[in-house]
Every structure is written in structure tokens, then in C-alpha cells.
Structure 1
Amino acid sequence: FTVPADITINCEQDPNDLTLTGDVTDEADNCDNTLEATFTDSTANGTCASESVITRTWTLTDDCNNTTTLVQTITIQDTTAPTFTVPADITINC
């Protein structure tokens, strides 16, 4: 099978959304045609509170318990600058 490509997403996006992070769609085996890839995640904290790195280990096991694993890295970053409103200009008396 082909593991989804490594990806960087913004912190408000859902890393469990496989339409965003990618899914395995090309499972193949010489004897088993009912394969379904599964994954487990290991998360490490990033440099700020809303950042992290997910190591997603994809596993494919056939009916005879032959297993293949591949790894995808999902980096979650905060790439949105903060916003604020500046008070209106005023004139004051000295």
C-alpha cells in the first residue's frame, strides 16, 4: 500500500479528518482481497501550546497475519497571525 504523504496542517484543522490528512486506498495482497489499513497515532508536543507532531503508523495485515507498516508525519502548526483593532485616532487638549 501507499502511505499518505507527510502533511502540515493549521491548528484549527482536525488531524482525524482523513479527507484532509489522507487515507490508504490502494491496499493489495496476493491472497487476501479484503484488506483494510488501520492507523495509530503518537503525538509529540510542538514549540507552542497549539502545535504538535503526529507520527501516524499505518498497518496492513492480511489473513495470514503478514503485516506491513508505514509511517506518515502530520505537523500541526499555528500559522495564523493574531488580529486586533486599533482605537480610533483622537485629538486631546494639552
Structure 2
Amino acid sequence: MKQERHQTTNGIEIHNFEHDINKMLEYLKGGAELRLPTKRIHLAGKSGAPRDTFQSKLNQVWRYGADVKKTEDHTRIIKTLENICNWIKVQR
């Protein structure tokens, strides 16, 4: 965004990406190491019923109280999100 002289997402086509962080990162030329997993993510829903989702829906996972079933997947997702935050800080 900085390269295109934008301070916010207003005025750029990023809204077409909805909640897909990987698509946003691709547009912003973030490195491959910043990508969230593209495989199916197994969840443990509030009711205990297993569900699956993809990275483009991760914002819904914690918002509605579901948990990522595998600890290693949860840890990897959190670490990747932290790396994305750090990358954003450097871009300012």
C-alpha cells in the first residue's frame, strides 16, 4: 500500500478480497512465508461437532467461538498472523 501511496484500503480494490488474507498479501506483494495454510482446517465447534474451514474464513473461527482442533495448526496460524503483523509494521 505504501508503494502505491495509500494509507488505508480506501480507493483500492482490496475489498474484492473479502476476508482472504492470502489474496490481500499477494496483491501487496507479501512473501510466501506470510501465507496462511491453504489446506482444510479442522475445527472443534462450540457444540463439540467437528467442522472444517479454510484460511479465508479464519476470521469467523474465533469470532464465533470455535477452536482449531490440532494444536500444531493453531500454533502455526497464530505465528503466521504475528509474522503478518510484523511485516505490516515494517511497511509503514
- The answer to whether TM tops 0.5 is no
TM-score by length of 2: 0.22
Q: Which has the higher strand share?
A: 1
Q: Which has the higher helix share?
A: 2
Higher alpha-carbon Rg: 1
TM-score by length of 1: 0.22
With CA pairs under 8 Å and 6+ residues apart, which has the higher RCO, 1 or 2?
1
